[in-house]
């Protein structure tokens, strides 16, 4: 029986035995919107025990009839109900697969579910008076466990019974402080959400590898640091720590992971970042205004030379303390290293090997590595007759965007390349746009490389770069509050990577006892290397002048490689 009160404004009252003559009823769907306009002045004294499916939105009952035996129920869906308890004693719930108590704010405890061995979906979201973790069956078949905005303070070690859980939400649990280490036994877990659980401070040690966990969401928590053992989350793709204002440390073992998305937006106390993996596609460090340095990925490069993303975006808007030289070096490594690998492939590639890397940082000067440079939003350069040779890798560009407002700005920058031939033909290549959001009012530098094929313009004699941008003031102002002030380009060749000593580092996995004894030496006048940036391999936590790095090797190389990097 289905009973809908949608768009019905009149109130209806029912007798307590309204269902008594429906003893074989197995489907009951009572659908209302908002506060229920169904009333049971004397309560409800009977529900048929034959029910297999019961949905009753905003159920007005305080409890189900004491004679109701839900042993045949497969789904119980009662979101927004006024129930204070479901039934008066523990029940055998062998057939129950779905229990949806979303928004049952009057409910003070979840019934004992140890006798619900087939339960797959448990939703107690917004059960704000529930303060104890529910008793679950063991073994347990639950796949979806939603506990958002409950009053739970402690999760017991016995959660290892959740062997099949896939999604577990604990966001907005304002009393929750930690999780037990037994969480590492949840081998099917894909998504763990703890956003806005503001008292959550200690993420547990991950004592065993977790291959399937893909998303770890810790936004707006009280987390201060992550354990080194986080590297055991070997399948993790997304780590979000947005507005974790107590976060001070990101563990150095992160370079061992296969992360693709790292969100550190608004982590105000974070001063440094370790080496980041080459698999990383997107980093958002906007508003990390204490951030001073990022360790360049020399170890990650040596350990996983073929594990890199062809599209990478790193955002550092409003990071006014960040050392630009280090970030420019980061850009150079990420652009040049994969190019060496691609050029060494025996089969033909569709592109020249340069990945699409984009990095945004505060800055108002074009690094000297880019040549030629322009004081405008466009630049043109002549091309040598043999510019497109076997060593050519691609183009990289740099643009400076200035702002004359401190309001929130959203800017889209897009580079248009126009190649001209001797015959006067023009070929235009429009690159993927780069999007920037900031409210600092500081000028920002955008560094970009393009995953592009230039074989169709090999005979060009001139190329022009035009930087188009579209700035939107969030306040709605139509005045032009941003402009491209400067730009610069560089043509990349194999020699660039060789000069930068990347070729040697990338082949460390093929050698033993390799000692890197030379890096681009800093100029005595400027403190920069041959590329116009200061080399950075130094971790300030290391007191010695040399650091020995133990590298993992492939099965074919059982011995560890000892790499001594001159700092």
pLDDT at 309: 81
Assigned token pair, 563: 């790499």
Q: Tell me the β-bridge partners of 549.
A: 563
Q: How does residue 432 score in pLDDT terms, banded at 50, 70 and 90?
A: confident
Residues 545-555: tens digit of each pLDDT: 333 333 333 33
Contact call for residues 133 and 154 (beta carbons, < 8 A): yes
Q: How does residue 117 score in pLDDT terms, banded at 50, 70 and 90?
A: very high
- Who contacts 12 (Cβ-Cβ below 8 Å, separation ≥6)? 5, 37, 38, 39
Residues 237-291: tens digit of each pLDDT: 999 999 999 999 999 999 889 999 999 999 999 999 999 998 999 999 999 999 9
pLDDT at 528: 44
Q: Is the pLDDT of residue 388 over 50?
A: yes
Assigned token pair, 397: 């560009």
**Extended beta strands in 202-355, E state:** 215-217, 238-240, 261-263, 272-273, 282-284, 293-294, 311-315
Residue 236, phi then psi, degrees to nearest 5: -65, 130
Which is nearest to 302 in space by CA: 7, 565, 82, 121? 565
What is the average pLDDT across 393-413? 84
Name the residue with tokens 């011995």: 559
Name the residue with tokens 């070997």: 234
Distance, C-alpha 482 to centroid of its chain: 29
Q: Quote the CA–CA distance of 70 and 78 in Å, as a whole number.
A: 14
Assigned token pair, 425: 């033909």
DSSP type of residue 126:
T
DSSP type of residue 395:
E
Q: Is the pLDDT of residue 186 over 90?
A: yes
Residues 435-491: tens digit of each pLDDT: 888 776 788 999 999 888 899 999 999 999 999 988 776 666 555 578 899 999 999
**Extended beta strands in 8-156, E state:** 12-13, 27-31, 38-39, 53-56, 75-77, 98-100, 121-123, 144-146
Q: Quote the CA–CA distance of 433 and 359 in Å, as a whole number.
A: 12
pLDDT at 36: 57
Contact call for residues 327 and 306 (beta carbons, < 8 A): no
CB neighbour burial string for 98-120, b if at least 16 within 10 angstroms, e if fewer? bbbbbbbeebeebbebebbbebb
Contact call for residues 24 and 48 (beta carbons, < 8 A): yes
Contact call for residues 169 and 145 (beta carbons, < 8 A): yes
Collect contacts of 118-124 with beta carbons under 8 A, ≥24 apart: 118/94, 119/93, 120/144, 121/97, 122/146, 123/99, 124/150
Assigned token pair, 412: 């889209």
The mean pLDDT value of the chain amounts to 82
3-state secondary structure of 515: strand
Cβ atoms within 10 Å, residue 213 = 25
What is the average pLDDT across 357-374? 95
Omega within 30 of 0 (cis) for the link into 372: yes
Assigned token pair, 321: 């303390």
Q: Are strands 426-430 and 293-294 parallel, antiparallel or unpaired?
A: unpaired
Q: Among 92-101, 495-504, 526-535, which range has the highest average pLDDT? A: 92-101
In order of 264, 313, 379, the CA distances from 106 in angstroms are 37, 46, 67
Residues 26-37: tens digit of each pLDDT: 999 887 766 656
Q: Is the pLDDT of residue 232 over 60?
A: yes
Q: Work out whether the CA dihedral 508, 510, 515, 516 comes out positive or negative.
A: negative
pLDDT at 481: 74
Contact call for residues 38 and 32 (beta carbons, < 8 A): yes
Name the residue with tokens 């290391």: 542
Q: How many CA atoms lie within 13 A of 278 on its CB side?
A: 23
- Burial of residue 540 (number of CB atoms within 10 Å: 0-12, 13-18, 19+): exposed
Contact call for residues 73 and 28 (beta carbons, < 8 A): no
Q: Tell me the β-bridge partners of 60.
A: none
Contact call for residues 400 and 367 (beta carbons, < 8 A): no
Q: How many CA atoms lie within 13 A of 150 on its CB side?
A: 28
Q: Tell me the β-bridge partners of 493.
A: 392
DSSP type of residue 69:
-
3-state secondary structure of 212: coil
Q: Are strands 409-421 and 460-473 parallel, antiparallel or unpaired?
A: antiparallel
Cβ atoms within 10 Å, residue 174 = 15
Round the CA-based radius of gyration of the chain to a whole number and report it: 30
Q: Is the pLDDT of residue 307 over 70?
A: no
Q: How many CA atoms lie within 13 A of 75 on its CB side?
A: 11
Query: pTM for the complete prediction?
Result: 0.85
In order of 16, 19, 201, 292, 444, the CA distances from 248 in angstroms are 60, 60, 12, 12, 25
Q: Quote the CA–CA distance of 544 and 537 in Å, as a whole number.
A: 13
Cβ atoms within 10 Å, residue 399 = 26
Residue 343, phi then psi, degrees to nearest 5: -65, -25
Q: Is the pLDDT of residue 543 over 60?
A: no
């Amino acid at each position: 029986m289905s009973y809908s009160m949608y768009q019905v404004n009149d109130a209806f009252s029912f007798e307590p035995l309204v269902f008594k003559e429906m003893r074989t009823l197995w489907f009951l769907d009572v659908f209302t919107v908002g506060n229920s306009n169904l009333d049971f002045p004397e309560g409800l004294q009977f529900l048929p025990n034959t029910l297999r499916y019961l949905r009753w939105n905003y159920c007005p009952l305080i409890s189900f009839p004491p004679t109701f035996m839900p042993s045949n129920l497969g789904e119980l869906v009662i979101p927004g109900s006024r129930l204070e308890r479901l039934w008066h004693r523990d029940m055998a719930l062998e057939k129950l697969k779905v229990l949806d108590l979303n928004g049952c704010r009057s409910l003070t405890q979840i019934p004992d579910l140890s006798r619900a061995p087939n339960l797959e979906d448990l939703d107690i979201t917004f059960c704000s008076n529930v303060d104890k973790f529910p008793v679950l069956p063991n073994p347990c078949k639950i796949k979806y466990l939603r506990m958002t905005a409950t009053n739970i303070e402690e999760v017991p070690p016995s959660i290892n019974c959740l062997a099949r859980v896939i999604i577990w939400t604990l966001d907005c649990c304002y009393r929750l402080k930690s999780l037990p280490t037994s969480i590492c036994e949840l081998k099917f877990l894909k998504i763990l959400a703890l956003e806005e659980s503001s008292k959550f401070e200690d993420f547990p040690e991950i004592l065993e590898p977790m291959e399937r966990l893909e998303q770890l969401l810790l936004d707006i928590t009280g987390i201060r640091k992550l354990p080194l053992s986080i590297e055991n989350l070997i399948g993790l793709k997304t780590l979000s720590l947005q507005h974790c204002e107590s976060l001070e440390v990101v563990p150095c073992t992160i370079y061992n992971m296969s992360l693709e998305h790292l969100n550190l937006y608004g982590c105000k106390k974070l001063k440094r970042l370790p080496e980041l993996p080459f698999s990383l596609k997107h980093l958002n460090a906007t508003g990390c205004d204490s951030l001073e340095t990022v360790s360049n990925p020399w170890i990650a490069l040596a350990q996983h030379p073929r594990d890199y993303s062809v599209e990478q975006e790193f955002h550092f808007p409003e990071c006014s303390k960040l050392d630009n030289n280090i970030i420019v070096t980061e850009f150079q490594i990420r652009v040049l290293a994969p190019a060496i690998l691609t050029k060494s492939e025996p089969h033909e590639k569709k592109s020249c090997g340069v990945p699409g890397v984009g990095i945004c940082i505060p800055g108002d000067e074009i690094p000297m590595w880019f040549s030629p440079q322009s004081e405008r939003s466009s630049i043109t350069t002549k091309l040598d007759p043999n510019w497109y040779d076997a060593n050519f890798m691609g183009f990289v560009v740099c643009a400076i965007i200035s702002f004359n407002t401190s309001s929130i700005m959203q800017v889209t920058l897009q580079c248009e390349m126009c190649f001209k031939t001797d015959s006067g033909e023009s070929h235009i290549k429009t690159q993927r746009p780069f999007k920037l959001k900031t409210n600092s009012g500081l000028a920002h530098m955008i560094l970009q490389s393009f995953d592009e094929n230039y074989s169709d313009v090999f005979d060009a004699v001139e190329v022009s770069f035009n930087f188009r941008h579209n700035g939107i003031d969030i306040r709605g102002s139509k005045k032009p509050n941003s402009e491209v002030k400067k730009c610069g380009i560089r043509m990349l060749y194999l020699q660039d990577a060789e000069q930068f000593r990347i070729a040697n580092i990338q082949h460390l996995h093929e050698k033993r006892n390799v000692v890197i004894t030379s890096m681009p030496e800093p100029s005595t006048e400027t403190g920069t290397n041959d590329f116009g940036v200061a080399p950075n391999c130094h971790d300030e936590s290391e007191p010695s002048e040399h650091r020995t790095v133990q590298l993992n090797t492939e099965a074919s190389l059982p011995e560890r490689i000892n790499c001594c990097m001159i700092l």
